[in-house]
Chains A and B, each alone.
Chain A
């Protein structure tokens, strides 16, 4: 670097480059998962449900807020067996987290029974997400 004539200039230049190096090293220590998430979303395309003459999309795997709700409020242990029990006062929340607000508004407007939604759609989605598959005896219930 011919423009660095004095030692002061050379030290100032080296200090500046040392800071650049430090920043670069700190950046390398950061785990960047944005690209991984983008790729994951590309691969896991949402599923489409056709119902009431409309189409609704359901995520390919359980969303984070649904999983926390599910584990906190729906999974219970009774007589040493793991059962699913959706509390009455959280039914609406369950449906909204699984299908979205629009879907819930539509089934309310059409007066669709919960039992139909549970047996025909919700259980399929739970199985699709791999978090619950109803056994032959039927140990999932709405409370």
Chain B
């Protein structure tokens, strides 16, 4: 899926905002199963026409952003990634619609402090649950 930029995408852990996402790209992987039966012969032939069904889908998000540096000099987000703690990605567009994705980091790289109080990071995030967000009335 093409990379898109969002006005307000944040990462939360235990409902606390830890980082802002500046670049975001989602991709889906599908797994399939072979369900070819003995009766699935090619028309007029003696060989089997293979048939598959989709059995599972997985979603990952590749993202870049800035994370708040805590008083100890390390970002809490790096700690979350290190420990495999569940995090929530709240992705909202300018219209207020979006998704709340729950999952964990499968890779995380922090590239240093660009300015006092923040680190830049790039990561991939495995989505386990996804919930639609609607604009607040």
Chain A residues packing against B (C-beta within 8 Å): 1-2, 4, 7, 10-11, 13-15, 17-18, 20-21, 24
State whether A11 touches B66 (Cβ < 8 A): no
State whether B71 touches A17 (Cβ < 8 A): no
Given A1-B117, A20-B115, A21-B114: A11 and B20 interface contact (C-beta under 8 Å): yes
State whether A14 touches B66 (Cβ < 8 A): yes
A contacts with B: majority SS: helix
* B 1-35 binary contact with A (CB < 8 Å = 1; else 0): 00000001010100111111010000000000000
Total of A-B residue pairs, C-beta within 8 Å: 47
Chain A contacts of B15 at CB under 8 A?
7
Given A1-B117, A11-B10, A24-B114: A18 and B16 interface contact (C-beta under 8 Å): no
CA distance A13 to B67 in the complex (A): 10
CA distance A89 to B65 in the complex (A): 64
CA distance A142 to B70 in the complex (A): 77
Chain B contacts of A18 at CB under 8 A?
20, 22, 66
State whether B17 touches A14 (Cβ < 8 A): yes
Residue of A nearest to B70 (CB): A1
Residue of B nearest to A17 (CB): B118
